[in-house]
Amino acid sequence: MKTILISDSAALGIMEVRPEPAWRVRLTGLRNKDLLAPDYGAMHVAAFLKASGRRIHVANLIADVHDSAALFTEPNTKPDELSGSGIAKHESAHASRRYLFDTLADIDPDVILVTLSTYNLALYTRSLLGEIKTACPGATLVTGGIYSTMHPEEILADGHADVVIRGEGELTASELLDRLAGGRDLDGLKGVSYRQGAQAYHNARRSPIANLDALPHPYTVSDEFNISTRFNILSELLPEGDWIPGAGFLTSRGCPEGCSFCLDPAINGRRARFHSPAYVREVLEFCADRFSGGAGAFFFGDAAFTLNKKRLARMLETLKGLPYTYQIQTRADYLDTPTIERLAANGFTNVAIGAETFNEDILRTVVRKRLEVRDVLKAARAVSRAGMKPILTFIIGLPGETRESVMRTLEILRENGLYDATFFPLVVFKGTALFDEFKARVTPEEMENLRLNPSSEEFISVSDEFPRAQELMDFTEQVNTELLSSRPTALP
């Protein structure tokens, strides 16, 4: 049975849809990461299938086609100017598209796996599934990922995908391929939705994987996903970056909290599971040996890296002697003084903290965070005193918040010398509590007009304070500009 996994489909969407403002010069660094960073969820699945003895061909729509840093180098300099790079040219998108369909024609696969995780371009990928099905009508077309987990009904109703994998894909994908190879039906296979003709079936959910250490790590499929090419290009373009290796490595899965803007409660059921420190060491040693060309920063993408203090202490011991500095994200209430001191003493440089708002009432009743503003400020100041950089993130447009309260948040940041912060407009998506609140107060027609872009399944959340989407976007840009312009010039 010939199986192919299509990698970089979301990146192809960036090239073909060209959503604003992704191709502006000011976003060159972020855009190049989005184009070249691998799909770590797909890597986890491919690693498990490989370890199980299955041969999977991986088609990397960007990394296999565009392998020169010169293509991604930005010649233009004005921040709001459109990119003049080679990768921005329509010919580059055409080359990736041609590679996709030429590869499908050459392999003539029996099974095609396509990740559909990203909400920002979900409608594009759903359309692409239709093109793939037309090119390979006899193949079983399978999709999975975060978006797929939350939207199996809509995907199957499109009539393109045959199977949707919901939740973690490693075990489900393996059992699915077993059944397809043996000509067996999918009745009772946990974690899948599938269609037979016009009828859709949604099997019982699969329980989350309890022993994460039993899974092979994603970098065991580095060759299949052309990680070296991605690494070399980003290493040349962003020598101080946190891109690879590790930009997508999670030392845990899940978070016990229930923030109203976050999908994690729906995906992981407010439960956290952990890799052992020894497993984490194994991954980092593998990357240090394989990718030695200047990769100095390793980013742990856990939702709350410092949640388990005992495990953290053991992990910090196992990291000694590795050629990395480390960047993390976590919650303020998981950062006490001993934890901060340990992080600073073991090569950690940046600590991202989701602050969301400094409006106490909204933080508690709307965001549903079980902490106070003083907790965030205390943690951020302590991180700074320890010699690390606290990076705070905020949301503008939360229900009940006003321009005045946002500007007060800005004042508090300045008063505390916290200038490494970014404000984002509130966008909502299915699976979050804030989406349910948003959907209840807008008409379907209004909702359609509030898509972040025409291919997005993220929606800009308007309110009495920001009745038009553009007002919210413009005010968010204004706040970010004011904070940046007020930053003392002596700060790094």
Parse the chain into domains and list their residue ranges.
3-202, 238-485
Query: What does the pLDDT average to over 32-51?
Result: 94
Residue 242 has pLDDT above 70, yes or no: no
**With 50 as the cut, is the pLDDT of residue 473 above it?**
yes
With 0-12 / 13-18 / 19 or more C-beta atoms within 10 angstroms meaning exposed / middle / buried, residue 492 is exposed
Q: What is the pTM of this model?
A: 0.94
Which pLDDT score is estimated for 245?
A: 39
Over residues 274-285, the mean pLDDT reads 94
* DSSP code per residue over 358-421: S-HHHHHHTS--SS-HHHHHHHHHHHHHTTPEEEEEEEE--TT--HHHHHHHHHHHHHTT---E
358-378 average pLDDT score: 94
What would the DSSP string read from start to end of 234-282? HHHH-TT---TTTTTB-SEE--S---TT-SHHHHHTT--EE--HHHHHH
Q: Do domains 3-202 and 238-485 have the same CATH topology?
A: no
Written as six digits, the tokens of 316 are 């910090």
Instruction: Tell me what the pLDDT averaged over the chain comes to.
Output: 93
Question: Could you give the CA distance from residue 422 to residue 417 in angstroms, rounded to a whole number?
Answer: 14
Q: Which residues contact 101 (CB under 8 A, 6 or more apart)?
A: 131, 135
Rounded CA separation 173/431 (Å): 23
Ranking 61-75, 190-204, 228-242, 275-289 by mean pLDDT, the lowest is 228-242
Mean local confidence (pLDDT), 438-446:
94
If one counts every other C-beta atom within 10 angstroms of the C-beta of residue 65, the result is 19
- How does DSSP classify residue 462? -
Measured at the CA of 124, the angle between CA 123 and CA 127, to 5 degrees, comes to 85
pLDDT at 239: 57
Distance between CA 172 and CA 52 in Å, rounded?
13
Q: Are 231 and 64 in contact (CB under 8 A)?
A: no
**What distance in Å separates the CA atoms of residue 32 and residue 237, rounded to the nearest whole number?**
9
pLDDT at 491: 58
pLDDT at residue 241 in the model: 52
Using the Cα atoms of residue 278, residue 280, residue 284 and residue 289 in order, give the sign of their dihedral.
Answer: positive
The pLDDT value recorded for residue 299 is: 84
Cα–chain center distance at 339: 26
Q: Domain 3-202's class? A: alpha beta
Handedness of CA 249, 255, 260, 265 (dihedral sign): positive
Closest CA to 263 of 254, 275, 272, 252: 254
Look up residue 295 and give its two tokens. 């990769």
pLDDT tens for 297-325 read: 788 989 889 999 999 999 999 999 888 88
Averaged pLDDT, 455-477: 95
Residue the block writes with tokens 């204004």: 478
Would you call the peptide bond into 390 cis, given omega within 30 degrees of 0 as the criterion?
Answer: no
* pLDDT of the residue at 243: 40
pLDDT-above-70 percentage for the chain? 97
- Structure confidence at residue 489 (pLDDT): 76
Mean pLDDT of 361-386: 95
Topology of the domain covering 238-485 = TIM Barrel (3.20.20)
Among the listed residues 310, 308, 286, the one whose alpha carbon sits nearest the alpha carbon of residue 298: 286
